[in-house]
């Protein structure tokens, strides 16, 4: 196969920190090439260099046999290298059609170059290619998280691109949406597009990718290994530099009821649903994108309102109406979108982690700075936060380490009784995933009630006592966590 895009000997330093050292990559026409690595391995820096967002200190890029130096992302786009990022870059107040035309307008030499916009027929064809069935006139604000991710990918596909770079493309997608995406990528490959597929999901890689490159500590440790020549265990070992055996979660026996939800309606027309969570229990809530599973998690945490019903904690008899009342009652919360709803990216890691307990370190509005960091000393080591310091801006940390900051924020709550976590390991590597799972195990053993909302069936089967399946904004079924996967998927799809 013809080599389309090649990176050789790429290095990048930020002061005394070495982000990349001798990173290499070869992308071939018609292939899906996976780029893997632990959080902090250098993937984000590498991708920024590939798309022109930053320049390397050393090394070379070659596109279609010719050396290239991208001065900006616009340069890369104009030469057919199209990135689709994990975190949304959509214009939410604009329509689907306007967002599909954004790349064309952004690369135009004149702001009035309307001929760079897609017409409605072209836009419909692009949406069909990724299996997204929404109106072109819908505002992006009205789309679900999964639909937004598919729109991001459709916008990249809509350009005549020779290299498509996808960063965690299935992170927000359910199983059916991921299958549609895979079909779309196969169509692109058949047309000769080279696809760089960045993911932490080893199952996705083994199913979709033709070749695998792995970074560790900024260095390419596996270069373009054929998918069938490297096992899942070998991938993990190369990513971490050590063997890794995931542990089953053995949580304590459940105790008395801690949280109770009665007659919750997620939409005005949905059937009411009720549930209770016991002390030391881990309850899993699963559903496809748009099913209402994430919405239910938000309601239980006081982060969203329902169309009827109530959520209360038996220990305090306090009714949860918003996040403030939920925190008073002892309900912690990790949202599904850490950037939009969780982190303060302009502030330090310490300010992010301590945001839930600042009142405990202040008197008359004056913060006692020395005391603020004390509760986190042991937690930093427990979670293997990298880098292991809290004075850096939260934006500096990789996705997995940013997720750890949100957990730290909740673990220091003095009256924590219930922890609601939405997609707890979305977009994190296997090491961070295990750290998070171990933390949830420890909390359950301490008697904390855990509610895990996840689209990852392997995760909920590992973590949870029971599963609540949500479809069409109502309960489709309840079962033990060791239920057959086919039965769970059938309920998630709304089958009887």
Q: What values do phi and psi take at 203, rounded to 5?
A: -60, -40
**For residue 250, is it within any domain?**
no
224 shares a domain with 291? no
Q: Quick check: is 246 in a domain?
A: no
Q: What is the CATH number of the domain that holds 163?
A: 3.40.50.300
- The verdict on 140 and 188 lying in the same domain is yes
CA atoms within 13 A on the CB side of 308: 10
Q: Are 236 and 270 members of one domain? A: no
Judge whether 247 lies within some domain: no
Domain end (from 188, 211, 240): 240
230 shares a domain with 319: no
In-domain check, residue 86: yes
Question: Is 245 part of any domain?
Answer: no
Using alpha carbons only, give the angle 40, 463, 399 rounded to the nearest 5 degrees: 20
Question: Do 232 and 268 fall within a single domain?
Answer: no
Domain that holds residue 423: 257-492
- In this structure, the answer to whether residues 193 and 234 fall within a common structural domain is yes
Residue 316, pLDDT score: 64
For the chain, report the end-to-end CA distance as a whole number of angstroms: 47
Q: How far apart are alpha carbons 89 and 91 in whole angstroms?
A: 7
For residue 371, the SS3 value is helix
Do both 169 and 101 map to the same domain? Answer: yes
* The pLDDT value given to residue 317: 64
Residue 447 lies in a domain: yes
Q: What is the count of structural domains for the chain?
A: 2
Q: Does 280 map to a domain?
A: yes
Name the strands in the sheet holding 331-334, side by side, starting at the edge strand that comes first in the sequence.
331-334, 418-422, 449-453, 282-286, 466-471, 474-480
The model scores a pTM over 0.85: no
pLDDT at position 244:
46
Taking a C-beta distance cutoff of 8 angstroms, is the pair 447, 252 a contact? yes
- Going by C-beta distance under 8 Å and a sequence separation of 6 or more, which residues neighbour residue 422? 294, 297, 298, 334, 335, 336, 453, 454
Buried b (16+ CB within 10 A) or exposed e, 315-345: beebebeeeebbbebbbbbbbbbbeeebbee
Question: What pLDDT sits at residue 315?
Answer: 59
Query: Which pLDDT score, from 0 to 100, does residue 253 have?
Result: 58
Could you tell me the two tokens for 70?
A: 């991208």
- Is residue 76 in some structural domain? yes
- List residues bridging with 469 in a β-sheet: 286, 477
185 and 280 co-located in one domain: no
Within this chain, do residues 272 and 358 fall inside the same structural domain, yes or no? Answer: yes
Res 452: pLDDT: 96
Which of 179, 205, 240 terminates a domain? The answer is 240
Q: Quick one: 391 and 283 in the same domain?
A: yes
Same domain, 219 and 320: no
| Domain boundary, last residue among 240, 275, 294 | 240
Residues 154 and 264 in one domain: no
pLDDT of residue 225: 93
pLDDT per residue, tens digit, the chain (496 aa), is 899 999 999 999 887 778 898 999 999 999 999 999 876 788 889 999 999 999 999 999 999 999 999 999 989 988 999 998 877 789 989 999 999 988 666 555 555 445 556 789 989 988 887 778 899 999 999 987 778 878 888 887 777 789 999 988 887 676 777 787 888 888 889 889 999 999 877 888 888 899 999 998 889 999 999 989 998 878 877 876 755 454 555 545 567 999 999 999 999 988 999 999 999 999 999 887 678 999 999 999 999 999 999 999 875 667 888 998 998 889 999 998 888 889 999 899 999 988 887 777 666 666 677 777 788 888 888 888 888 888 889 988 888 889 999 999 998 888 899 999 999 987 777 778 888 888 898 899 999 999 999 877 778 888 899 999 998 888 988 888 777 777 777 777 665 4
Contacts of 225 (CB under 8 A, 6+ apart): 211, 212, 213, 214
């Amino acid at each position: 196969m013809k080599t389309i895009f090649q990176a050789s000997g790429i290095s990048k330093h930020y002061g005394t920190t070495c982000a990349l050292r001798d990173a290499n990559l070869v992308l071939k026409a018609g292939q899906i090439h996976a780029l893997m690595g632990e959080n902090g391995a250098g993937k984000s820096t590498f991708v920024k260099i590939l798309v022109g967002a930053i320049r390397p200190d050393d090394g070379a890029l070659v596109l279609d046999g010719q050396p290239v130096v991208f001065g900006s992302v616009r340069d890369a786009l104009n030469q057919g290298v199209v990135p689709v990022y994990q975190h949304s870059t959509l214009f939410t107040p604009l329509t689907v059609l306007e967002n599909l035309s954004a790349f064309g307008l952004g690369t135009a030499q004149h702001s009035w170059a309307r001929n760079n916009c897609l017409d409605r027929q072209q836009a419909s064809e692009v949406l069909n290619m990724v299996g997204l069935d929404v109106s072109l006139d819908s505002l992006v604000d009205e789309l679900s998280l999964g639909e937004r991710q598919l729109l991001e990918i459709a916008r990249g596909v809509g350009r005549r691109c020779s290299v498509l770079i996808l960063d965690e493309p299935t992170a927000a997608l359910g199983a059916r949406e991921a299958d549609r995406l895979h079909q779309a990528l196969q169509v692109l490959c058949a047309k000769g597009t080279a696809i760089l597929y960045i993911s932490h999901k080893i199952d996705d890689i083994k199913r979709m990718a033709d070749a695998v490159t792995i970074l560790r500590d900024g260095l390419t440790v596996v270069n373009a290994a054929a998918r069938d020549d490297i096992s899942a265990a070998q991938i993990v070992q190369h990513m971490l530099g050590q063997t890794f055996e995931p542990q089953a979660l053995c949580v304590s026996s459940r105790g008395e009821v801690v949280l109770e939800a009665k007659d919750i309606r997620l939409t005005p027309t949905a059937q009411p649903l009720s549930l209770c969570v016991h002390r030391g229990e881990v309850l899993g809530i699963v559903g496809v994108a748009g099913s209402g599973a994430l919405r239910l998690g938000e309601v239980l945490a006081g982060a969203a309102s329902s169309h009827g019903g109530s959520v209360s904690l038996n220990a305090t008899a306090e009714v949860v109406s918003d996040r403030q009342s939920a925190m008073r009652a002892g309900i912690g919360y990790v949202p599904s979108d850490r950037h939009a709803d969780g982190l303060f990216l302009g502030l330090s890691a310490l300010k992010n982690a301590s945001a839930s307990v600042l009142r405990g370190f202040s008197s008359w509005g004056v913060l006692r700075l020395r005391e603020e960091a004390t509760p986190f000393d042991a937690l930093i080591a427990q979670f293997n936060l990298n880098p292991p310091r809290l004075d850096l801006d939260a934006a500096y940390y990789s996705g997995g380490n940013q997720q750890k900051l949100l957990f730290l924020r909740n673990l220091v709550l003095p009256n924590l009784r219930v922890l609601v976590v939405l997609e707890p390991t979305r977009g994190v590597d296997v090491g961070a995933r295990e750290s998070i799972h171990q933390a949830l195990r420890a909390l359950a053993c301490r008697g904390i009630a855990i509610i895990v909302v996840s689209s990852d069936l392997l995760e909920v089967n590992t973590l949870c006592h029971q599963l609540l399946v949500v479809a069409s904004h109502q309960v489709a079924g309840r079962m033990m966590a060791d239920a057959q996967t086919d039965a769970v998927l059938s309920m998630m799809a709304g089958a009887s």
